[in-house]
Structure 1
């Protein structure tokens, strides 16, 4: 795992409280195409309530049959369906009899109400049983508002957060225009997955196939970023919509979920620092990214110190923020604006939603003023915010709300996947080797790389460092 960090300001004034923004790129190990991948565990939880009639269930069935065709016999697959109760249609296990699994999937018919919590809980039980130490991916597909069982968003968020702590990553797919995007978003946030939106069967089928591709290309799982407390940190927070939490010791924890081969994620931290009484270089904090190699089940930690230079106040007054960092800050603020606009639409306030989006669009730097890939990101966000503002005023409010929520949910994750999708620079899912020994765990800010396996993992293996200053 390779880390790099860029600060908007790398100097801070003497004896003065200040704040710096830290732009972090996290890149997963790449697999080579000449060795088998480890077996994957995919658990499907499928809504078969009455509202799934009219082609929706048929579209999901077609996609799931294709998914079974794509998986290897050694992969574990399971299917739980639910209406007013959950049914284990396919117990999670190796696909030794694919035809029997296809027949069971094709036999699904719409039923009654929507007890989403029952299906989710039963699916998690199956995923944990079959996934074991290797972990599992759960995909929840639903088109409705939960009207039976547990419907509290916070409780369902906690359910999937607990499952993630036991190796189960949860992604949700909202189907049609009748589902509760805030509920499915809470489920996905807890499970460190994505909250996807499909209005029609074709889109749903494509997203189901895409999630399977990501699963089979996985090279790092259960990844998390931890920022510990310390004397030089007054407060640290995530800019944007990446879910985070506080540990009992005061550390900030960001659950990153799983990475496919070569995938890069980007996130932004805001670090408030107290006034420091001595001039010179200070390590403000240290970033720890921990992940599990899905092939060997070895736990590794990449460590990156974040340093600033304390200078006299008159020198600090002339500093200029790095445009790359400020550009990312604007992009992340735009994601928060999308969530706020989605909430306004759910309240029925179209004008407020459009105004929020217009304001965010106006706050973006001009794409022509920023070089490189950031210019394309800005142009894409500018176009999307303008289009969504117009739709917020005129189009179906439910459709626009769901589109906005899906767009902002896991923005960093989805952008990383778009930039480095399986099958392009990386090998096809299903092919590959474990990460190459040596050099895959690294950190880089201004020239120093640190490497170490997780000292608490009995299965960790030491990897030699490269030359200082080298990036992978």
Structure 2
């Protein structure tokens, strides 16, 4: 495991209250084939909604995906299935997969039923998982297409149950199918359980999400990953900008990340509140202690990194430059917070408040594109497209879908920031098939993607036999015409079209960073 820390500024102004953004990257080791072969047995407990509305197609898709999932697990892995409508049924008692044919036959025999007692199904699934889980813990995957309309329906209460289960070694992931599910409840379960939450409007995406859970389960490199921040007395407080549970302990602020997959990097954004006072010179703000259990041995490890800064007179600190990656990531995460607030406003039938949140976030992200590092350009472009689509949906009155899409992106971009899945899994951050308003052409249907076309168009304008001054009105006219199209960034288009440097010959605007 590796932990890397960087601050937005290399200097803190003396005698001035400062907010110091800090970026933390946590990278898991790559598992080799030998480690994968010797992994401890996993426990996967599925909690499946079989209420009447699931009978129109989603239930059959889920059953097929679960049977494929069973085939991919080892005979010594534990698998269990609880199905629920207004009643709860233990379809497959949690235990080793010694008879996969019988398990798949039990899955095939599921039929749709009545209403949706989600809490009863989830709690029974937790009981089954705990019954067989060993040191390696367990994962509960809840799949539902409806609102919980009986039993416990309070997201806060169920989120607390998921959090308690996490501290007993059980992770919870949740998938909402269609447009009728309670996005706040499922997000609370995934957040408390430190798992993934998915939104699948179509059956294909539901199958991909379920398959991706096994991909993650089989590639875990570390479990019980946590980060403890010990602050020095000169730090007044700290904000974790990502949407992750935080616990204040006698030793400091504890952030629990759950499991990390082989080779993945998770990114956290902290903001330290440093009041005026420290004299000029080096100062220690605190330290970060990373703890984890290595797989497959479950050996416990810790690593510590110091948080240091340099205090300088205000006149000197005024000349400091911001780290572009930290500054951009902070804007990106603030946008996730805005979408969370917008989703709550839509739930409360306050679309105007939601629109104000989304527009402010869009404007902030747009402003950040000018100074964003190359490696974050795609993230910002996607975020702008998503915010634009959410604004359009909200204005059209489609509040439910807009709220669900907003919360889905928050889960991806905030709780699991940095996590990457294979394309087409339904969890890939660059898979647009389920994003609101997404209509990006793909190379399979078009000989040239929009991104490639805009790059070539900018290059064509740049190479016109004209001075930059004469090219400017041409670039402005094209930018005005294309602004708002997928993958198009007007400011970067203008910058390249008016550049005096050729593409790939020392210019900052390489093909992959233009748009």
TM-score (norm 2): 0.78
Give the whole-Å Cα distance in 1 for the aligned partners of 2:158 and 2:15.
46
How far is the alpha carbon of 1:215 from its aligned partner? Answer: 0.8
Unpaired segments of 5 or more residues in structure 2?
426-515
CA deviation profile, 1:281-315 (whole Å, cap 9, x unmatched): 22201112211123111121221111001222322
Whether the aligned pair in 1 keeps the contact of 2:291 and 2:303 (CA below 8 Å) is yes
Give the whole-Å Cα distance in 1 for the aligned partners of 2:362 and 2:83.
41
CA RMSD in angstroms comes to 2.0
Q: Which protein has greater RCO, CA pairs closer than 8 Å, 6+ apart?
A: 1
Alignment match of 2:226 (pick from 221, 224, 227): 224
2:420 is paired with a residue whose SS is helix
How many corresponding residue pairs? 422
Whether the aligned pair in 1 keeps the contact of 2:191 and 2:415 (CA below 8 Å) is no
Whether the aligned pair in 1 keeps the contact of 2:173 and 2:193 (CA below 8 Å) is yes
2:111 counterpart of 1:103: no
Higher helix share: 2
1:44 aligns to what? 46
Whether the aligned pair in 2 keeps the contact of 1:136 and 1:168 (CA below 8 Å) is yes
Give the whole-Å Cα distance in 2 for the aligned partners of 1:366 and 1:331.
9
1:406 aligns to what? 408
Give the whole-Å Cα distance in 2 for the aligned partners of 1:85 and 1:285.
51
Whether the aligned pair in 2 keeps the contact of 1:367 and 1:376 (CA below 8 Å) is no
How far is the alpha carbon of 1:367 from its aligned partner? Answer: 3.1
How far is the alpha carbon of 1:421 from its aligned partner? Answer: 7.6
Alignment match of 1:156 (pick from 137, 155, 158): 158
> Which has the larger Rg?
2
1:371 aligns to what? 373
1:212 aligns to what? 214
2:476 aligns to what? none
Whether the aligned pair in 1 keeps the contact of 2:46 and 2:140 (CA below 8 Å) is yes
Unpaired segments of 5 or more residues in structure 1?
424-472
Alignment match of 2:69 (pick from 67, 80, 92): 67
2:282 counterpart of 1:263: no
Give the whole-Å Cα distance in 2 for the aligned partners of 1:74 and 1:395.
50
Give the whole-Å Cα distance in 1 for the aligned partners of 2:283 and 2:332.
29
1:302 aligns to what? 303
TM-score (norm 1): 0.85
Where in structure 2 are the equivalents of 1:84-163 lying within 5 Å? 84-163=86-165
CA deviation profile, 1:414-446 (whole Å, cap 9, x unmatched): 4523377899xxxxxxxxxxxxxxxxxxxxxxx
2:328 aligns to what? 327
Whether the aligned pair in 1 keeps the contact of 2:336 and 2:413 (CA below 8 Å) is yes
CA change 1:395–1:258 in 2 (3 A) is: farther
Give the whole-Å Cα distance in 1 for the aligned partners of 2:203 and 2:34.
36
CA change 1:161–1:109 in 2 (3 A) is: same
CA change 1:419–1:44 in 2 (3 A) is: closer
Give the whole-Å Cα distance in 2 for the aligned partners of 1:275 and 1:413.
32
How far is the alpha carbon of 1:232 from its aligned partner? Answer: 2.3
